[in-house]
Amino acid sequence: MEMETKGLQKFWCVPKNIVQNKIVIKFLSTSLSLFQKFLHIILRKLIENCENLYKKLRLLHKEYTKLVRRIYIVSFGLIQKYVNIKKRI
Model pLDDT for residues 48-87, shown as the tens digit of each residue: 999 999 999 999 999 999 999 999 999 988 888 888 887 7
Q: Given a cut of 90, is residue 24 above it in pLDDT?
A: no
Q: Given a cut of 80, is residue 43 above it in pLDDT?
A: yes
∠ CA 37-56-49, rounded to 5°: 10
DSSP string, 19-40: HT-HHHHHHHHHHHHHHHHHHH
- With residues binned 3-state (H G I as helix, E B as strand, rest as coil), the percentages for the chain, rounded to 5, are 90, 0, 10
User: Residue 30's domain spans which residues?
Assistant: 2-88
Model pTM? 0.52
Domain count, the chain: 1
